[in-house]
Amino acid sequence: MSSLYKIARGMSLGVPEIGETFYVVDTNFRTAAQGWTQSDRTGPLDLYAEKNPGRVFYGAGGGTYSPSNSYATDVLAVQAAVDAAVDFRGDALAFSPGSFSLTTAVALNVPGLRVLGPIVGHPKRSLTTVTDAIGAGYTISVDDVEVAYHTLIPITALDQISGSSGADRGYLHHLYWNTAGIAASTSTQFCAATTGVDWLVENCNFYVDAAQGDTFTLTSCQRWMFQDNDFYVGLTGVAWESVFTFVTSALGMVARWNMFRGCGGSTPATFTNIFTGVANVNGQLMAYQNFIDGTALATASAIETTFGTTTDIELAENYQTGDATLEGGIVIALA
Protein backbone atom coordinates (compact mmCIF):
# COMPACT_ATOMS: atom_id res chain seq x y z
CA MET A 1 0.00 0.00 0.00
CA SER A 2 1.60 3.28 -1.11
CA SER A 3 2.11 6.25 1.21
CA LEU A 4 0.08 8.42 -1.16
CA TYR A 5 -2.82 5.98 -0.94
CA LYS A 6 -2.65 6.02 2.87
CA ILE A 7 -2.67 9.82 2.87
CA ALA A 8 -5.63 9.89 0.47
CA ARG A 9 -7.56 7.46 2.66
CA GLY A 10 -6.76 9.54 5.73
CA MET A 11 -8.17 12.62 3.99
CA SER A 12 -11.33 10.72 3.05
CA LEU A 13 -10.41 11.14 -0.61
CA GLY A 14 -10.21 7.42 -1.28
CA VAL A 15 -13.83 6.64 -0.49
CA PRO A 16 -15.70 5.45 -3.57
CA GLU A 17 -17.99 8.07 -5.08
CA ILE A 18 -21.67 7.22 -5.25
CA GLY A 19 -24.05 9.10 -7.51
CA GLU A 20 -23.79 12.09 -9.84
CA THR A 21 -24.23 15.79 -9.07
CA PHE A 22 -26.50 18.03 -11.16
CA TYR A 23 -26.13 21.78 -10.71
CA VAL A 24 -28.85 24.45 -10.87
CA VAL A 25 -27.58 28.01 -11.33
CA ASP A 26 -29.60 31.04 -10.29
CA THR A 27 -30.86 33.10 -13.24
CA ASN A 28 -29.35 36.27 -11.77
CA PHE A 29 -26.28 34.71 -10.24
CA ARG A 30 -24.06 37.05 -12.25
CA THR A 31 -24.91 39.36 -15.13
CA ALA A 32 -23.37 39.20 -18.58
CA ALA A 33 -21.71 42.57 -17.91
CA GLN A 34 -19.81 40.97 -15.06
CA GLY A 35 -18.49 38.34 -17.41
CA TRP A 36 -20.35 35.36 -15.97
CA THR A 37 -20.93 34.00 -19.47
CA GLN A 38 -19.19 35.08 -22.67
CA SER A 39 -19.85 34.51 -26.35
CA ASP A 40 -16.43 32.87 -26.72
CA ARG A 41 -17.32 30.52 -23.84
CA THR A 42 -14.57 31.76 -21.51
CA GLY A 43 -16.75 33.09 -18.69
CA PRO A 44 -16.86 31.30 -15.30
CA LEU A 45 -20.25 29.73 -16.03
CA ASP A 46 -19.10 28.61 -19.47
CA LEU A 47 -16.05 26.87 -18.05
CA TYR A 48 -18.08 25.41 -15.21
CA ALA A 49 -20.51 23.91 -17.69
CA GLU A 50 -17.67 22.47 -19.75
CA LYS A 51 -16.19 20.82 -16.66
CA ASN A 52 -19.59 19.29 -15.92
CA PRO A 53 -21.05 18.50 -19.36
CA GLY A 54 -24.79 17.96 -19.31
CA ARG A 55 -24.97 18.56 -15.55
CA VAL A 56 -25.41 22.35 -15.32
CA PHE A 57 -28.96 23.72 -15.61
CA TYR A 58 -29.59 27.43 -15.96
CA GLY A 59 -32.92 29.26 -15.89
CA ALA A 60 -31.80 32.17 -18.03
CA GLY A 61 -34.21 31.73 -20.93
CA GLY A 62 -31.51 31.18 -23.51
CA GLY A 63 -27.84 31.75 -22.85
CA THR A 64 -24.62 31.32 -24.72
CA TYR A 65 -22.94 28.52 -22.86
CA SER A 66 -25.19 25.49 -23.17
CA PRO A 67 -28.46 25.97 -25.02
CA SER A 68 -29.62 22.42 -24.35
CA ASN A 69 -29.52 23.00 -20.57
CA SER A 70 -30.80 26.57 -20.48
CA TYR A 71 -34.48 26.99 -19.60
CA ALA A 72 -37.02 29.78 -19.59
CA THR A 73 -37.56 29.79 -15.81
CA ASP A 74 -35.96 28.65 -12.59
CA VAL A 75 -38.53 25.94 -12.00
CA LEU A 76 -38.04 24.39 -15.45
CA ALA A 77 -34.30 24.22 -14.84
CA VAL A 78 -34.84 22.66 -11.40
CA GLN A 79 -37.26 20.04 -12.72
CA ALA A 80 -34.97 19.21 -15.65
CA ALA A 81 -32.11 18.63 -13.22
CA VAL A 82 -34.30 16.33 -11.11
CA ASP A 83 -35.38 14.45 -14.24
CA ALA A 84 -31.74 13.90 -15.20
CA ALA A 85 -31.08 12.06 -11.94
CA VAL A 86 -31.22 8.27 -11.75
CA ASP A 87 -33.25 6.27 -9.23
CA PHE A 88 -31.43 4.77 -6.25
CA ARG A 89 -28.00 6.03 -7.35
CA GLY A 90 -27.69 8.66 -4.63
CA ASP A 91 -27.64 11.59 -7.05
CA ALA A 92 -27.50 15.17 -5.75
CA LEU A 93 -29.23 18.30 -7.00
CA ALA A 94 -26.94 21.19 -6.00
CA PHE A 95 -28.18 24.79 -6.06
CA SER A 96 -25.81 27.68 -6.59
CA PRO A 97 -25.99 30.60 -4.14
CA GLY A 98 -28.94 32.78 -5.09
CA SER A 99 -32.73 32.90 -5.21
CA PHE A 100 -35.05 30.52 -7.02
CA SER A 101 -38.79 30.81 -7.57
CA LEU A 102 -41.00 27.75 -7.98
CA THR A 103 -43.97 28.80 -10.08
CA THR A 104 -45.05 25.19 -10.53
CA ALA A 105 -44.53 22.29 -8.14
CA VAL A 106 -41.26 20.39 -8.47
CA ALA A 107 -41.77 16.62 -8.39
CA LEU A 108 -39.00 15.13 -6.26
CA ASN A 109 -39.70 11.67 -7.63
CA VAL A 110 -36.21 10.13 -7.74
CA PRO A 111 -35.60 7.69 -4.85
CA GLY A 112 -32.42 8.56 -3.00
CA LEU A 113 -32.22 12.12 -4.37
CA ARG A 114 -30.40 14.79 -2.35
CA VAL A 115 -31.57 18.40 -2.85
CA LEU A 116 -28.90 20.70 -1.43
CA GLY A 117 -27.81 24.29 -1.24
CA PRO A 118 -24.19 25.14 -0.42
CA ILE A 119 -23.26 23.53 2.91
CA VAL A 120 -23.32 25.95 5.85
CA GLY A 121 -23.01 25.45 9.58
CA HIS A 122 -26.37 26.96 10.55
CA PRO A 123 -29.69 27.18 8.67
CA LYS A 124 -29.86 30.97 8.97
CA ARG A 125 -26.61 31.24 7.07
CA SER A 126 -28.00 29.47 4.01
CA LEU A 127 -26.91 30.88 0.65
CA THR A 128 -29.83 29.48 -1.35
CA THR A 129 -33.39 30.79 -1.07
CA VAL A 130 -36.27 28.87 -2.64
CA THR A 131 -39.60 30.70 -2.80
CA ASP A 132 -42.78 28.70 -3.26
CA ALA A 133 -45.08 30.63 -5.60
CA ILE A 134 -47.57 27.82 -6.25
CA GLY A 135 -48.00 25.59 -3.17
CA ALA A 136 -46.46 22.16 -2.55
CA GLY A 137 -43.36 23.56 -4.24
CA TYR A 138 -41.49 20.42 -3.30
CA THR A 139 -43.67 17.33 -3.76
CA ILE A 140 -41.99 14.20 -2.42
CA SER A 141 -43.53 10.97 -3.68
CA VAL A 142 -40.71 8.43 -3.25
CA ASP A 143 -38.39 7.11 -0.55
CA ASP A 144 -35.10 8.47 0.80
CA VAL A 145 -35.31 12.08 -0.41
CA GLU A 146 -33.12 14.60 1.42
CA VAL A 147 -33.67 18.38 1.39
CA ALA A 148 -31.11 20.58 3.14
CA TYR A 149 -29.24 23.92 3.35
CA HIS A 150 -32.02 26.17 2.04
CA THR A 151 -34.02 29.14 3.16
CA LEU A 152 -37.61 28.31 2.25
CA ILE A 153 -40.23 31.03 1.71
CA PRO A 154 -43.86 29.80 1.68
CA ILE A 155 -46.99 31.07 -0.03
CA THR A 156 -50.01 32.06 2.04
CA ALA A 157 -52.53 29.31 2.86
CA LEU A 158 -50.65 26.46 1.17
CA ASP A 159 -48.10 23.76 2.05
CA GLN A 160 -44.45 24.18 1.10
CA ILE A 161 -43.38 20.53 1.26
CA SER A 162 -45.87 17.78 0.44
CA GLY A 163 -45.11 14.18 1.33
CA SER A 164 -47.49 11.97 -0.60
CA SER A 165 -48.60 8.51 0.40
CA GLY A 166 -45.81 5.98 0.71
CA ALA A 167 -42.83 8.39 0.71
CA ASP A 168 -40.67 6.99 3.51
CA ARG A 169 -37.38 7.93 5.18
CA GLY A 170 -37.39 11.58 4.19
CA TYR A 171 -34.59 13.69 5.65
CA LEU A 172 -35.02 17.43 6.23
CA HIS A 173 -32.17 19.35 7.87
CA HIS A 174 -30.48 22.74 8.01
CA LEU A 175 -33.56 24.45 6.59
CA TYR A 176 -34.77 27.93 7.53
CA TRP A 177 -38.54 28.32 7.06
CA ASN A 178 -38.96 32.08 7.02
CA THR A 179 -42.54 33.38 6.92
CA ALA A 180 -41.61 37.02 7.57
CA GLY A 181 -44.15 39.21 5.79
CA ILE A 182 -46.36 36.29 4.71
CA ALA A 183 -50.04 37.08 5.32
CA ALA A 184 -51.54 35.22 8.25
CA SER A 185 -53.40 32.01 7.48
CA THR A 186 -54.03 28.88 9.51
CA SER A 187 -53.49 26.96 6.26
CA THR A 188 -49.89 28.10 5.70
CA GLN A 189 -47.83 25.01 6.48
CA PHE A 190 -44.24 23.92 6.16
CA CYS A 191 -44.90 20.21 5.61
CA ALA A 192 -48.02 18.10 5.16
CA ALA A 193 -47.48 14.36 4.79
CA THR A 194 -49.55 11.20 4.60
CA THR A 195 -48.48 7.70 5.70
CA GLY A 196 -44.77 8.55 5.57
CA VAL A 197 -42.59 6.39 7.81
CA ASP A 198 -39.21 7.02 9.50
CA TRP A 199 -38.61 10.65 8.56
CA LEU A 200 -35.95 12.69 10.36
CA VAL A 201 -36.23 16.47 10.81
CA GLU A 202 -33.28 18.10 12.55
CA ASN A 203 -31.30 21.32 12.83
CA CYS A 204 -34.06 23.43 11.24
CA ASN A 205 -35.28 26.92 12.17
CA PHE A 206 -38.93 27.96 11.82
CA TYR A 207 -39.85 31.64 12.04
CA VAL A 208 -43.39 33.03 12.19
CA ASP A 209 -44.42 36.69 12.56
CA ALA A 210 -48.14 36.19 11.83
CA ALA A 211 -50.61 33.52 12.89
CA GLN A 212 -49.76 30.75 10.44
CA GLY A 213 -50.99 27.16 10.37
CA ASP A 214 -49.23 24.09 11.69
CA THR A 215 -45.61 23.62 10.79
CA PHE A 216 -46.33 19.91 10.38
CA THR A 217 -49.64 18.17 9.69
CA LEU A 218 -49.01 14.43 9.63
CA THR A 219 -51.78 12.02 8.68
CA SER A 220 -51.22 8.36 9.58
CA CYS A 221 -47.46 8.92 9.57
CA GLN A 222 -45.27 6.81 11.83
CA ARG A 223 -41.92 6.98 13.60
CA TRP A 224 -40.88 10.52 12.69
CA MET A 225 -38.15 12.14 14.80
CA PHE A 226 -37.84 15.91 15.37
CA GLN A 227 -34.67 17.00 17.11
CA ASP A 228 -32.54 20.13 17.58
CA ASN A 229 -35.07 22.44 15.92
CA ASP A 230 -35.94 26.04 16.84
CA PHE A 231 -39.52 27.34 16.56
CA TYR A 232 -39.73 31.10 17.01
CA VAL A 233 -42.71 33.47 17.09
CA GLY A 234 -41.09 36.79 16.28
CA LEU A 235 -43.73 39.50 16.68
CA THR A 236 -45.55 40.69 19.79
CA GLY A 237 -49.17 39.70 20.07
CA VAL A 238 -48.97 36.87 17.54
CA ALA A 239 -50.41 33.50 18.57
CA TRP A 240 -49.12 30.35 16.87
CA GLU A 241 -52.15 28.09 17.11
CA SER A 242 -50.36 24.74 16.93
CA VAL A 243 -46.94 23.60 15.72
CA PHE A 244 -47.59 19.88 15.21
CA THR A 245 -50.91 18.25 14.36
CA PHE A 246 -51.23 14.47 14.21
CA VAL A 247 -54.22 13.09 12.30
CA THR A 248 -55.95 9.69 12.11
CA SER A 249 -53.36 7.15 13.27
CA ALA A 250 -50.04 9.00 13.50
CA LEU A 251 -47.89 6.77 15.71
CA GLY A 252 -44.47 6.53 17.32
CA MET A 253 -43.41 10.18 16.95
CA VAL A 254 -40.43 11.53 18.93
CA ALA A 255 -39.71 15.22 19.66
CA ARG A 256 -36.55 15.94 21.63
CA TRP A 257 -34.09 18.78 22.25
CA ASN A 258 -36.28 21.37 20.50
CA MET A 259 -36.78 24.99 21.52
CA PHE A 260 -40.07 26.87 21.33
CA ARG A 261 -39.72 30.59 21.95
CA GLY A 262 -41.46 33.89 21.42
CA CYS A 263 -40.46 37.52 21.55
CA GLY A 264 -41.45 39.62 24.54
CA GLY A 265 -42.95 43.08 24.64
CA SER A 266 -46.11 44.35 26.28
CA THR A 267 -48.12 41.59 24.57
CA PRO A 268 -45.86 38.53 24.26
CA ALA A 269 -45.99 36.24 21.27
CA THR A 270 -47.49 32.90 22.25
CA PHE A 271 -48.14 29.28 21.37
CA THR A 272 -51.77 28.34 21.96
CA ASN A 273 -50.66 24.71 21.93
CA ILE A 274 -47.59 22.98 20.56
CA PHE A 275 -48.78 19.41 20.01
CA THR A 276 -52.29 18.57 18.79
CA GLY A 277 -53.17 14.89 18.74
CA VAL A 278 -55.93 12.37 18.16
CA ALA A 279 -58.04 11.41 21.14
CA ASN A 280 -57.51 7.90 22.50
CA VAL A 281 -55.00 6.64 19.96
CA ASN A 282 -52.16 5.06 21.90
CA GLY A 283 -48.49 5.77 21.31
CA GLN A 284 -48.69 8.90 19.21
CA LEU A 285 -45.86 10.96 20.66
CA MET A 286 -42.99 10.93 23.10
CA ALA A 287 -41.71 14.46 23.82
CA TYR A 288 -38.71 14.88 26.08
CA GLN A 289 -36.06 17.46 26.96
CA ASN A 290 -37.75 20.28 25.06
CA PHE A 291 -37.65 23.89 26.29
CA ILE A 292 -40.51 26.37 26.00
CA ASP A 293 -40.26 30.10 26.63
CA GLY A 294 -42.30 30.73 29.77
CA THR A 295 -43.88 33.89 28.35
CA ALA A 296 -44.95 32.09 25.16
CA LEU A 297 -47.14 29.36 26.70
CA ALA A 298 -50.08 30.12 28.94
CA THR A 299 -49.56 27.14 31.25
CA ALA A 300 -47.31 24.11 31.25
CA SER A 301 -50.22 21.81 30.46
CA ALA A 302 -50.99 23.84 27.32
CA ILE A 303 -48.10 22.10 25.59
CA GLU A 304 -50.64 19.60 24.25
CA THR A 305 -54.31 19.39 23.34
CA THR A 306 -56.83 16.83 22.09
CA PHE A 307 -54.76 13.82 23.13
CA GLY A 308 -56.93 11.56 25.23
CA THR A 309 -55.52 9.07 27.75
CA THR A 310 -52.02 9.30 29.19
CA THR A 311 -50.91 6.55 26.81
CA ASP A 312 -51.54 8.84 23.82
CA ILE A 313 -48.63 11.17 24.67
CA GLU A 314 -45.61 10.78 26.95
CA LEU A 315 -43.93 13.91 28.34
CA ALA A 316 -40.57 13.64 30.09
CA GLU A 317 -38.22 16.36 31.34
CA ASN A 318 -39.73 19.18 29.29
CA TYR A 319 -39.40 22.64 30.77
CA GLN A 320 -41.35 25.86 30.62
CA THR A 321 -38.88 28.58 31.52
CA GLY A 322 -39.75 31.79 33.31
CA ASP A 323 -37.62 32.17 36.42
CA ALA A 324 -34.84 34.73 36.03
CA THR A 325 -32.73 33.15 38.77
CA LEU A 326 -30.64 30.03 38.44
CA GLU A 327 -32.25 27.35 36.27
CA GLY A 328 -35.85 28.17 37.15
CA GLY A 329 -38.70 26.88 35.07
CA ILE A 330 -41.61 24.48 35.44
CA VAL A 331 -41.46 20.81 34.61
CA ILE A 332 -44.16 20.10 32.04
CA ALA A 333 -46.35 17.11 32.69
CA LEU A 334 -49.85 16.01 31.80
CA ALA A 335 -52.49 17.88 33.79
pLDDT band, very low/low/confident/very high, at 333 (cuts 50, 70, 90)? confident
Closest by Cα among 321, 284, 328, 276 to 302:
276
Q: What is the pLDDT of residue 5?
A: 43
| Residues facing residue 275 across a β-bridge | 244, 304
* 7 sits in which H/E element: helix 3-10
Helix, coil or strand: residue 125: helix
pLDDT band, very low/low/confident/very high, at 9 (cuts 50, 70, 90)? very low
Closest by Cα among 22, 64, 29, 20 to 46:
64
Question: Do 318 and 288 form a contact (C-beta atoms < 8 A)?
Answer: yes
Q: Domains of the chain (ranges plus CATH)?
A: 20-84 (no CATH), 90-332 (2.160.20.10)
pTM of the model: 0.91
Q: Which of 2-6, 203-207, 231-235, 307-311 has the lowest mean pLDDT?
A: 2-6
pLDDT per position as a tens digit, 174-196: 999 999 999 999 899 999 999 99
Helix, coil or strand: residue 99: strand
Q: What is the pLDDT of residue 15?
A: 56
| Average pLDDT of the residues in 254-277 | 91
Question: Do 230 and 261 form a contact (C-beta atoms < 8 A)?
Answer: yes
pLDDT per position as a tens digit, 66-93: 545 778 888 999 999 999 999 999 999 9
Separation of alpha carbons 189 and 213, rounded Å: 5
On average, the pLDDT of the chain sits at 88
Task: Kindly tell me the burial class for residue 223, based on how many C-beta atoms sit within 10 Å of its own C-beta (0-12, 13-18, 19 or more).
Answer: middle
| Residues facing residue 151 across a β-bridge | 129, 176
| Residues facing residue 316 across a β-bridge | 288
pLDDT per position as a tens digit, 39-53: 777 777 777 778 888
Q: What is the pLDDT of residue 1?
A: 43
